Amino acid sequence: MNTEKKIQHTLNDLIEIARDGGEFYTEAAGKVKDPELASLFSQMAGHKREIVAALSADVAATGGKPADHGTIVGSMQQMYGKLRAALGDTEYGYVAELEESEDRLLKAFKETVSDEDTPAEARISAERLLPRVVQCHDIMRNRKHAMKAAS
Protein backbone atom coordinates (compact mmCIF):
# COMPACT_ATOMS: atom_id res chain seq x y z
CA MET A 1 0.00 0.00 0.00
CA ASN A 2 1.49 3.35 -0.99
CA THR A 3 1.79 6.22 1.49
CA GLU A 4 -1.23 8.17 0.20
CA LYS A 5 -3.46 5.08 0.43
CA LYS A 6 -2.21 4.35 3.96
CA ILE A 7 -2.91 7.96 5.01
CA GLN A 8 -6.41 7.73 3.53
CA HIS A 9 -7.11 4.37 5.18
CA THR A 10 -5.87 5.58 8.59
CA LEU A 11 -7.83 8.83 8.50
CA ASN A 12 -10.95 7.18 7.10
CA ASP A 13 -10.95 4.79 10.07
CA LEU A 14 -10.97 7.82 12.39
CA ILE A 15 -13.70 9.47 10.30
CA GLU A 16 -15.94 6.41 10.61
CA ILE A 17 -15.53 6.19 14.39
CA ALA A 18 -16.10 9.95 14.84
CA ARG A 19 -19.17 9.76 12.59
CA ASP A 20 -20.54 6.91 14.74
CA GLY A 21 -20.25 9.12 17.80
CA GLY A 22 -21.80 12.13 16.08
CA GLU A 23 -24.81 10.15 14.91
CA PHE A 24 -25.28 8.61 18.35
CA TYR A 25 -25.10 12.04 20.04
CA THR A 26 -27.64 13.46 17.61
CA GLU A 27 -30.05 10.62 18.28
CA ALA A 28 -29.57 10.82 22.05
CA ALA A 29 -30.18 14.59 22.03
CA GLY A 30 -33.63 13.92 20.64
CA LYS A 31 -34.43 11.17 23.15
CA VAL A 32 -33.52 12.67 26.53
CA LYS A 33 -35.96 14.84 28.44
CA ASP A 34 -33.35 16.96 30.27
CA PRO A 35 -32.85 20.11 28.12
CA GLU A 36 -29.34 20.73 29.48
CA LEU A 37 -28.28 17.19 28.59
CA ALA A 38 -29.91 17.46 25.15
CA SER A 39 -27.95 20.67 24.58
CA LEU A 40 -24.71 19.00 25.66
CA PHE A 41 -25.35 16.07 23.30
CA SER A 42 -26.03 18.48 20.44
CA GLN A 43 -22.78 20.32 21.14
CA MET A 44 -20.86 17.05 21.24
CA ALA A 45 -22.43 16.00 17.93
CA GLY A 46 -21.17 19.30 16.51
CA HIS A 47 -17.65 18.55 17.72
CA LYS A 48 -17.78 15.18 15.99
CA ARG A 49 -18.94 16.83 12.75
CA GLU A 50 -15.98 19.22 12.98
CA ILE A 51 -13.57 16.31 13.45
CA VAL A 52 -15.12 14.46 10.49
CA ALA A 53 -14.89 17.59 8.33
CA ALA A 54 -11.23 18.22 9.22
CA LEU A 55 -10.21 14.61 8.61
CA SER A 56 -12.25 14.48 5.40
CA ALA A 57 -10.37 17.54 4.11
CA ASP A 58 -7.07 15.83 4.93
CA VAL A 59 -8.13 12.67 3.06
CA ALA A 60 -9.26 14.74 0.06
CA ALA A 61 -5.92 16.61 0.10
CA THR A 62 -4.17 13.28 -0.56
CA GLY A 63 -6.46 12.61 -3.52
CA GLY A 64 -8.63 10.15 -1.62
CA LYS A 65 -12.34 9.81 -1.02
CA PRO A 66 -13.36 10.49 2.59
CA ALA A 67 -15.44 7.82 4.30
CA ASP A 68 -19.14 8.64 4.15
CA HIS A 69 -20.50 6.17 6.71
CA GLY A 70 -19.85 4.87 10.20
CA THR A 71 -18.86 1.40 11.38
CA ILE A 72 -20.78 -1.75 12.19
CA VAL A 73 -19.39 -1.63 15.74
CA GLY A 74 -20.74 1.91 16.08
CA SER A 75 -24.18 0.85 14.85
CA MET A 76 -24.23 -2.02 17.33
CA GLN A 77 -23.13 0.26 20.16
CA GLN A 78 -25.86 2.75 19.26
CA MET A 79 -28.46 -0.04 19.25
CA TYR A 80 -27.25 -1.28 22.63
CA GLY A 81 -27.36 2.28 23.97
CA LYS A 82 -30.97 2.66 22.89
CA LEU A 83 -31.90 -0.63 24.53
CA ARG A 84 -30.07 0.22 27.74
CA ALA A 85 -31.73 3.64 27.88
CA ALA A 86 -35.16 2.14 27.24
CA LEU A 87 -34.77 -0.38 30.06
CA GLY A 88 -33.41 1.93 32.74
CA ASP A 89 -32.49 5.51 33.49
CA THR A 90 -32.62 7.01 29.99
CA GLU A 91 -30.27 9.90 30.72
CA TYR A 92 -27.64 7.80 32.50
CA GLY A 93 -27.94 5.04 29.90
CA TYR A 94 -27.15 7.42 27.08
CA VAL A 95 -24.34 9.14 28.98
CA ALA A 96 -22.73 5.79 29.81
CA GLU A 97 -22.90 4.55 26.23
CA LEU A 98 -21.75 7.86 24.78
CA GLU A 99 -18.79 7.81 27.15
CA GLU A 100 -17.95 4.35 25.74
CA SER A 101 -18.12 5.87 22.27
CA GLU A 102 -15.69 8.57 23.43
CA ASP A 103 -13.37 5.87 24.81
CA ARG A 104 -13.38 4.16 21.42
CA LEU A 105 -12.55 7.36 19.52
CA LEU A 106 -9.83 8.37 21.99
CA LYS A 107 -8.23 4.93 21.76
CA ALA A 108 -8.23 5.09 17.96
CA PHE A 109 -6.62 8.54 17.96
CA LYS A 110 -3.97 7.52 20.51
CA GLU A 111 -3.15 4.39 18.52
CA THR A 112 -2.83 6.45 15.33
CA VAL A 113 -0.47 8.90 17.02
CA SER A 114 1.68 6.24 18.72
CA ASP A 115 1.85 3.64 15.92
CA GLU A 116 5.28 3.74 14.29
CA ASP A 117 3.73 2.63 11.00
CA THR A 118 1.36 5.62 10.85
CA PRO A 119 2.46 7.92 8.00
CA ALA A 120 3.63 11.34 9.22
CA GLU A 121 0.74 13.19 7.51
CA ALA A 122 -1.85 11.00 9.24
CA ARG A 123 -0.08 11.36 12.58
CA ILE A 124 -0.04 15.16 12.20
CA SER A 125 -3.78 15.19 11.44
CA ALA A 126 -4.54 13.03 14.48
CA GLU A 127 -2.25 15.06 16.77
CA ARG A 128 -3.92 18.30 15.65
CA LEU A 129 -7.38 16.98 16.61
CA LEU A 130 -6.38 14.95 19.67
CA PRO A 131 -6.88 17.81 22.21
CA ARG A 132 -10.55 18.14 21.12
CA VAL A 133 -11.01 14.36 21.30
CA VAL A 134 -9.54 14.30 24.83
CA GLN A 135 -11.72 17.25 25.87
CA CYS A 136 -14.91 15.57 24.65
CA HIS A 137 -13.92 12.29 26.28
CA ASP A 138 -13.28 13.99 29.62
CA ILE A 139 -16.59 15.87 29.51
CA MET A 140 -18.56 12.65 29.10
CA ARG A 141 -16.45 10.70 31.60
CA ASN A 142 -16.98 13.42 34.21
CA ARG A 143 -20.71 13.61 33.44
CA LYS A 144 -21.05 9.83 33.83
CA HIS A 145 -19.20 9.85 37.17
CA ALA A 146 -21.26 12.78 38.47
CA MET A 147 -24.54 11.11 37.51
CA LYS A 148 -23.48 7.82 39.07
CA ALA A 149 -22.44 9.59 42.31
CA ALA A 150 -25.76 11.46 42.44
CA SER A 151 -27.85 8.28 42.19
- pLDDT classification of 50: cutoffs 50, 70, 90: very high
What is the predicted pLDDT for the residue at 91?
87
108-134 pLDDT, tens digit per residue, is 999 999 999 999 999 999 999 999 999
Question: What is the rounded average pLDDT of the residues 73-77?
Answer: 58
What is the predicted pLDDT for the residue at 88?
56
The CATH code of the domain that includes 144 is 1.20.1260.10
Q: How many CA atoms lie within 13 A of 30 on its CB side?
A: 7
Mean of all residue pLDDT scores within the chain = 89
118 within 8 A of 127, measured Cβ to Cβ: no
Closest CA to 101 of 131, 66, 136, 69: 136
> Does the pLDDT of residue 87 top 70, yes or no?
no
Owning domain of residue 34: 3-150
Total domain count for the chain? Answer: 1
> Does the pLDDT of residue 139 top 80, yes or no?
yes
For 56, residues 6+ apart whose C-beta sits below 8 A from its C-beta are: 15, 66, 67
143 within 8 A of 95, measured Cβ to Cβ: yes
What is the predicted pLDDT for the residue at 70?
63
> Does the pLDDT of residue 74 top 60, yes or no?
no
